[in-house]
C-alpha cells in the first residue's frame, strides 16, 4: 500500500535506476508523481474519422497503419507512414525520421495527434507533419501484450510530457499503478472551512480524476485544466504558496526599523513643495507610505502606477519625511538619463526648501566622484540620486533612512536585496516604484515580501492619446502631420528599433541613418536631435536637455527614451517598425506623450513582415491606453516566463498552477491563507491551523524558497 510520502522507487515498475531519472524532474515521492499532471488529453472515446478532418485544425485520430518507409531525399531523410480506415487515408511525415525505421507494422492501430494539413501533392488528401503518435496495445518491456489496452483506447487518455527514455505511455501506466495501490485514506491538509468556501473535492478523488477522467467529464474543461480536480490541485498549490508568503511578510514586519515622526512641520514642508494638487490616488498611496514609515519596522512597499500617473512626486514626499527626520535618502533609477531627469526635477522641486541633493552616476569623473562619496559619507548629501550602479560601488552613507528604487518596468529584485544588506545599522525603509501595472495579488506573489500601493488614476487635464497604425507606404502623410504638430508649437519623438542598419536586414531603418535622412531631406528646416544608447552620457544629457528646453523640435531616438523621460510639450510619437517592439515596450514608449494639455498622437508605422503576434500587439495598442489592460494582454501573449524575465525575478516554480492563467484562484488562495492565519477561531481550529502550517513546512517551503515557519 502506497502513502503519498512513499519514495517513488517503491511504485511498481519503478526501481532505483528509474527513480534517479525521475529525481531530475523533481519527482521523489508518490505525491510528486501524482502532481505530474497530463499536459493534454486525447478523446479516444469518440475519436475523429479521417473523413471528418479539416486542414488547419489540431486533431487526434485513431487509424490502422498501412505502409511506411524511409525516403532519403537530398536534403534530409523523411519518414513517411500512411494510416487509414475504410477508404480514407492520412499521410504522416517525420523529417529526419530515420529513427522511426521499423517502428510501424501494417495492421497496427495507432493514435495520431497533430495539425491537419492539405497534402501538397495529392488531390484533396490530408497529411500531418511530425504528429505525436502512440501505437495502441503495444506492451512496454515486462508486460503482457494488451495488459494496459484499456488505458489507451475507449476513454479520455492523459498525455504526459516525456522525459528522456520515459515516454508519455510509461508515465500513464506508472501513475495508473500508483493510483491503484494508493492508500484509500490520504490526509487532508486544507482546513474544512476552506474546503467549504471553495467547494473543493477531496485530494484522492482529484488525483484520480485529473489523471484518468470519467468518460462524462467535459473535454474542454480538461484541456483547459478547469475540471473540479484541476481546480482543487491548483488551489491547494497556490494556497500554500500564499500562506508561506503571508508568513514571510508578517515576519518581516517584526524586524527593527526606523519609526519616522510626522508632525505639522513636516506636513507643511510637503505642502510647500507640491507644484500641483495631488490626485486622490496620490493622496491615498502617500497615506499608505506614511503609515509604513511611522511604523517601527522597515517599510517594504511597492508603488505601482502606469506611466505618467505621477509616482515621482510621491517619492519626493516620502524623501522629505526621511530628510526632515534627519536621515539620508537614496533614489535609484535604471538609466543615467532617468537618474539625471530625477535629479533635475528634484532640484527644481526640492532645492528651494534647502535640501542638499547630489547626482552620482557612472559617468561622473573620478575626482568629483570621490568628493560626492565624501559628502555622502559625512551626511552632507541628504538626497543621493543615481543609477542602480550606485549599489555596486562602495558608497557609504552616514545615516540612510529611505531607499527609493525606480524600476520602471524592470524587475530588479536581486539589486534590491543588495542594497538592504549594505546598510549596517537598522534597516532602512524601501520603496520600489514600477510602471508595470500587474494585478495586485500577482505583484504580491512576485515581490513576495512587499506590500503594494497602486496609483490608479492619472493627473487631471490629460487628453487621451490617439493611437494609429500606418503602413510604411504612407509615411509621407506621417511626416506632413509631424510638421503640423511642430508648427503648432509642440514637439515630437521618432523612435527606431536599432541604432545602425544591420547587414542582414536592409529593410530595417536605423536611427542614425534615418536621423540624417530626416534632417537633410524629409524634415529639413526642423530642429532635430539624435539620442541612442551608444552615445556618451554627457552627449545624451545635452541632447535631452535641449529637447526639454524646446531647442529641438524632433528627437530621433532608440528605446533609450522608453524609461521615464518627461517632456510634457511633446505630443507626437512616431514609432517606426512598431511590429518589432514588445507590447509593454510600446506602451512605455507611448507613455512619453500625452503628458501635457495638447492632444497627443502615437503613430505605429509598420514594415511589410508582420507576424500574427505582432498584429495582436499593434491592435492592442490601438484599442487601449490602459496600462493594466496592456500588461494583461502582454502576459497572455508572452507567458509569465518571458514577461518577467527569469525565475530570478521572483517567479515561483509551480507544479500545476500558472499564476497568470490562474490569477482568480490566486486571489482566492491569498484570501483563504489570510483567513487561516487569523485563526484559531470558531471556523478554524487550532489543530487545523497547525496542520496547515506543518504541511507548508514539510511540503512547500523548500520548493518555493520560502522561510521556515517560526
> Residue 636 touches which of Mg ion, ligand ADP, none (CB < 5 to 8 A by kind)?
none
Tell me which of Mg ion, ligand ADP, none is bound by residue 68, counting a contact when its beta carbon lies within the kind-specific cut-off of 5 to 8 angstroms: none
From candidates 181, 456, 501, 566, binder to ligand ADP by CB under 6 A: 566
Which positions from 122 through 151 interact with ligand ADP, judged by CB under 6 A? none
Q: Looking at 287-295, 478-486, 562-570, 628-636, which segment touches ligand ADP (CB under 6 A)?
A: 562-570
Q: How far is CA 680 from the centre of its chain?
A: 36
**Closest approach of ligand ADP to the CB of residue 236, in Å:** 38
Among residues 433, 442, 428, 404, the alpha carbon closest in space to that of 245 is found at 442
Nearest approach, Cβ of 564 to Mg ion (angstroms)?
A: 4
User: What is the rounded distance in angstroms from the CA atom of residue 468 to the CA atom of residue 614?
Assistant: 15
Residue nearest to Mg ion (CB): 564
Q: Which residues pair with 127 in a beta bridge?
A: 91, 117
Contacts of residue 103, Cβ cutoff 8 Å, sequence gap at least 6: 68, 135
Q: Candidates 568, 627, 650, 652: give the one binding ligand ADP (CB under 6 A).
A: 568
Residue 318 burial (CB count, 10 A):
27
564 binds Mg ion (CB under 5 A): yes
Q: Which one of 257, 278, 439, 448 is in contact with ligand ADP (CB under 6 A)? A: 278
- Which segment (133-141, 477-485, 510-518, 558-566) binds Mg ion by CB under 5 A? 558-566
Look at residue 47 and give the partner it binds from ligand ADP, Mg ion, none, a contact being a CB closer than 5 to 8 Å depending on partner kind. none
How far apart are CB 681 and Mg ion at their closest, in Å? 44
Applying CB under 6 A, the site for ligand ADP has a residue count of: 19
Q: Are 411 and 383 in contact (CB under 8 A)?
A: no
CB 283 → ligand ADP: shortest distance, Å? 9
Stretch that binds ligand ADP, among 17-25, 41-49, 274-282, 386-394 (CB under 6 A): 274-282
* C-beta of residue 380 within 8 angstroms of C-beta of residue 356: yes
φ, ψ for residue 443, nearest 5 deg: -65, -45
**168 vs 312, beta carbon nearer Mg ion:** 312
**Is residue 307 close enough to count as binding ligand ADP by CB under 6 A?**
yes
Give residue for cell 474519422: 49
Q: What is the 3-state secondary structure (H, E, C) of 515-575?
A: HHHHHHHHCCCCCEEEECCCCCHHHHHHHHHHHHCCCCCEEEECHHHHCCCCCCCEEEEEE
Residues 29 and 24: their CA atoms lie apart, in Å, by 13
Examine residue 309 and tell whether it contacts ligand ADP (CB under 6 A). Answer: yes
CB of 460 to ligand ADP, least distance (A): 6
Residue 312 or 453: the one with the smaller Cβ distance to Mg ion is 312
CB of 307 to Mg ion, least distance (A): 7
Q: How far is the CB of 273 from ligand ADP (least distance, A)?
A: 12
308 binds ligand ADP (CB under 6 A): yes
Binds 38, which of Mg ion, ligand ADP, none (CB < 5 to 8 A, cut-off by type)?
none
> Which of residues 77, 137, 228, 459 is near ligand ADP by CB under 6 A?
459
Q: By CB under 6 A, is residue 312 in contact with ligand ADP? A: yes
Q: Collapsing DSSP states into helix, strand and coil, what is residue 681?
A: coil
**Identity of the residue, 281 or 498, whose beta carbon is nearer to ligand ADP in the bound complex:** 281
Region binding ligand ADP by CB under 6 A among candidate stretches 86-94, 289-297, 302-310, 618-626: 302-310
Residue nearest to ligand ADP (CB): 310
Q: Are 686 and 228 in contact (CB under 8 A)?
A: no
47 binding Mg ion? (CB under 5 A): no
43 binds, among ligand ADP, Mg ion, none (CB under 5 to 8 A by kind): none
CB of 305 to Mg ion, least distance (A): 8
Q: Identify the H or E element spanning 43.
A: strand 40-43
219-249 per-residue burial string, b: 16 or more CB within 10 A, e: under 16: eeebeebebbbbbbbbbbbbbbbbbbbbbbb
Span near Mg ion by CB under 5 A; candidates 50-58, 119-127, 286-294, 306-314: 306-314
Q: Which of the ranges 187-195, 260-268, 272-280, 424-432 carries the binding residues for ligand ADP, by CB under 6 A?
A: 272-280
Lookup: cell for 51? 473523413
Pairing of strands 328-333, 400-408: parallel
361 lies in the site for ligand ADP, by CB under 6 A: no
Nearer to Mg ion, 63 or 285 (CB): 285
Closest among 672, 697, 701 to 190, alpha carbons compared: 672
Asked if residues 349 and 566 have their Cβ atoms less than 8 Å apart, the reply is no
3-class SS at 113?
strand
> Least distance to Mg ion from the beta carbon of 343, Å?
13
The Cβ-side half-sphere exposure at 33, using a 13 Å CA radius, reads 32
Rg (CA), the chain: 31
> Can you tell me which of 282, 571, 588, 701 binds ligand ADP, judged by CB under 6 A?
282
Instruction: Please spell the DSSP secondary structure of 574-595, one letter per residue.
Output: EETTGGGS-HHHHHHHHTTSS-
Stretch that binds ligand ADP, among 75-83, 301-309, 316-324, 478-486 (CB under 6 A): 301-309
Question: Applying CB under 6 A, which of residues 6, 168, 225, 279 lies at the interface with ligand ADP?
Answer: 279
Looking at 109, 174, 299, 313, which residue binds ligand ADP (CB under 6 A)? 313
State the Cα–Cα distance between residues 540 and 544, nearest whole angstrom.
6
Question: Residue 156: enclosing H or E segment and its boundaries?
Answer: strand 156-159
Taking the C-alpha atoms of residue 464 and residue 298, their distance in angstroms, rounded to an integer, is: 39
Q: Are 441 and 670 in contact, with CB atoms under 8 Å apart? A: yes
Number of residues that bind Mg ion (CB under 5 A): 2
Q: Does 305 bind ligand ADP (CB under 6 A)?
A: yes
The distance of closest approach from Cβ of residue 268 to ligand ADP in the complex, given in angstroms and rounded to an integer, is: 18
C-alpha cell at 687: 489543530
Residue 567 within binding range of ligand ADP, rule CB under 6 A: no
* 437 is a site residue for ligand ADP (CB under 6 A): no
**Least Cβ distance, residue 284 to ligand ADP (angstroms):** 12
Burial class (CB in 10 A: 0-12, 13-18, 19+), 688: buried
Strands 554-557 and 528-531: what pairing?
Answer: parallel
Alpha-carbon gap, residue 245 to 447, rounded angstroms:
9
Q: How far is the CB of 312 from Mg ion (least distance, A)?
A: 5
Answer with the entry of Mg ion, ligand ADP, none that 456 interacts with (C-beta below 5 to 8 A by kind): none
User: 244: helix, coil or strand?
Assistant: helix
> Shortest Cβ distance from residue 629 to ligand ADP (Å)?
17
Candidate list 230, 311, 519, 587; residue touching ligand ADP; CB under 6 A: 311
Binding string, 311-330, against Mg ion, x = CB under 5 A?
Answer: -x------------------
Q: Which stretch binds ligand ADP (CB under 6 A): 307-315, 316-324, 513-521, 626-634?
A: 307-315
Binding segment toward ligand ADP, per CB under 6 A, in 47-55, 114-122, 271-279, 543-551? 271-279
Q: Which of 544, 132, 38 is nearest to 335 (CA)?
A: 544
Tell me which residue of 108, 117, 168 sits closest to 138, measured CA to CA: 108
The Cα–Cα gap between 90 and 59 comes to 12
Site of interaction with Mg ion (CB under 5 A): 312, 564
Site of interaction with ligand ADP (CB under 6 A): 276-279, 282, 305, 307-313, 435, 459, 564, 566, 568, 595
Amino acid at each position: 500500500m502506497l502513502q503519498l510520502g512513499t519514495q517513488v522507487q517503491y511504485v511498481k515498475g519503478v526501481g532505483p535506476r528509474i527513480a534517479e531519472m525521475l529525481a531530475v524532474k523533481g519527482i521523489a515521492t508518490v505525491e510528486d508523481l501524482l502532481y505530474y499532471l497530463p499536459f493534454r488529453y486525447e478523446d479516444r472515446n469518440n475519436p475523429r474519422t479521417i473523413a471528418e478532418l479539416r486542414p488547419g485544425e489540431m486533431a487526434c485520430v485513431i487509424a490502422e497503419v498501412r505502409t511506411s518507409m524511409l525516403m532519403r531525399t537530398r536534403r534530409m531523410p523523411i519518414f513517411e507512414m500512411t494510416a487509414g480506415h475504410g477508404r480514407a487515408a492520412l499521410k504522416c511525415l517525420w523529417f529526419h525520421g530515420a529513427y522511426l525505421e521499423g517502428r510501424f507494422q501494417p495492421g497496427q492501430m495507432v493514435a495520431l495527434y497533430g495539425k491537419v494539413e492539405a497534402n501538397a501533392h495529392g488531390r484533396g488528401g490530408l497529411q500531418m507533419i511530425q504528429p505525436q503518435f502512440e501505437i495502441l496495445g503495444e506492451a512496454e518491456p515486462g508486460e503482457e501484450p494488451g495488459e494496459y489496452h484499456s488505458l489507451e483506447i475507449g476513454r479520455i487518455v492523459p498525455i504526459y510530457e516525456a522525459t528522456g527514455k520515459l515516454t508519455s505511455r510509461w508515465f500513464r501506466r506508472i501513475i495508473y499503478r500508483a493510483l491503484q495501490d494508493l492508500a484509500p485514506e490520504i490526509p487532508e491538509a486544507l482546513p474544512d472551512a476552506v474546503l467549504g468556501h471553495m467547494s473543493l473535492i477531496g485530494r484522492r478523488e482529484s488525483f484520480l480524476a485529473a489523471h484518468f477522467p470519467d468518460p462524462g467529464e467535459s473535454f474542454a474543461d480538461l484541456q483547459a485544466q478547469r475540471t473540479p480536480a484541476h481546480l482543487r490541485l491548483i488551489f491547494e498549490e497556490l494556497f500554500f504558496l500564499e500562506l508561506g508568503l503571508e508568513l514571510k511578510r508578517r515576519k518581516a514586519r517584526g524586524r527593527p526599523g526606523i519609526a519616522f515622526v510626522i508632525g505639522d512641520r513636516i506636513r507643511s514642508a510637503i505642502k510647500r513643495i507640491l507644484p500641483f494638487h495631488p490626485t486622490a490616488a496620490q493622496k491615498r498611496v502617500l497615506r499608505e507610505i506614511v503609515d509604513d514609515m511611522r511604523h517601527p519596522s522597515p517599510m517594504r512597499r511597492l508603488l505601482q502606477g502606469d506611466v505618467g500617473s505621477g509616482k515621482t512626486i510621491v517619492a519626493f514626499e516620502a524623501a522629505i519625511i526621511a530628510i526632515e527626520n534627519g536621515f539620508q535618502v537614496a533614489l535609484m533609477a535604471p538609466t543615467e538619463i532617468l537618474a539625471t531627469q530625477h535629479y533635475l526635477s528634484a532640484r527644481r522641486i526640492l532645492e528651494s526648501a534647502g535640501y542638499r541633493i547630489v547626482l552620482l552616476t557612472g559617468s561622473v569623473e573620478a575626482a568629483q566622484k570621490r568628493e560626492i562619496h565624501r559628502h555622502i559619507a559625512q551626511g552632507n548629501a541628504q538626497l543621493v540620486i543615481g543609477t542602480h550602479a550606485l549599489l555596486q560601488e562602495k558608497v557609504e552613507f552616514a545615516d540612510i533612512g529611505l531607499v527609493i528604487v525606480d524600476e520602471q518596468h524592470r524587475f530588479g529584485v536581486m539589486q534590491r536585496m543588495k542594497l538592504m544588506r549594505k546598510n549596517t545599522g537598522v534597516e532602512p525603509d524601501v520603496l520600489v516604484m514600477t510602471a508595470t501595472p500587474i494585478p495586485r495579488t500577482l505583484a504580491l506573489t512576485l515581490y513576495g515580501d512587499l506590500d503594494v500601493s497602486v496609483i490608479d488614476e492619472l493627473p487631471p487635464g490629460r487628453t487621451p492619446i490617439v493611437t494609429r497604425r500606418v503602413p510604411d507606404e504612407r509615411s509621407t502623410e506621417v511626416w506632413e502631420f509631424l510638421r503640423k504638430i511642430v508648427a503648432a508649437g509642440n514637439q515630437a519623438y521618432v523612435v527606431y528599433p536599432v541604432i545602425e542598419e544591420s547587414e542582414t536586414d536592409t529593410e530595417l531603418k536605423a536611427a542614425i541613418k534615418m536621423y540624417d535622412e530626416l534632417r537633410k531631406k524629409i524634415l529639413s528646416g526642423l530642429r532635430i536631435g539624435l539620442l541612442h544608447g551608444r552615445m556618451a552620457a554627457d552627449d545624451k544629457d545635452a541632447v535631452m536637455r535641449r529637447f526639454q528646453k524646446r531647442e529641438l523640435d524632433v528627437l530621433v531616438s532608440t528605446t533609450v527614451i522608453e524609461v521615464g523621460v518627461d517632456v510634457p510639450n511633446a505630443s507626437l510619437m512616431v514609432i517606426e517598425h512598431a511590429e518589432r517592439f514588445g507590447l509593454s515596450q510600446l506602451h512605455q514608449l507611448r507613455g512619453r506623450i500625452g503628458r501635457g494639455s495638447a492632444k497627443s498622437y502615437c503613430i505605429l508605422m509598420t514594415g511589410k513582415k508582420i507576424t500574427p503576434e505582432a498584429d495582436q500587439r499593434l491592435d492592442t495598442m490601438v484599442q487601449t491606453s490602459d496600462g493594466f489592460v496592456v500588461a494583461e494582454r502582454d502576459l497572455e501573449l508572452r507567458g509569465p516566463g518571458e514577461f518577467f524575465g527569469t525565475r530570478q525575478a521572483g517567479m515561483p516554480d509551480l507544479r500545476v498552477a500558472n499564476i497568470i492563467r490562474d490569477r482568480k484562484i490566486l486571489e482566492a488562495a491569498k484570501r483563504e491563507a489570510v483567513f487561516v492565519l487569523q485563526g484559531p477561531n470558531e471556523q478554524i481550529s487550532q489543530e487545523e491551523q497547525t496542520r496547515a502550517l506543518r504541511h507548508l513546512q514539510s511540503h512547500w517551503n523548500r520548493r518555493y524558497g520560502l522561510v521556515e515557519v517560526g
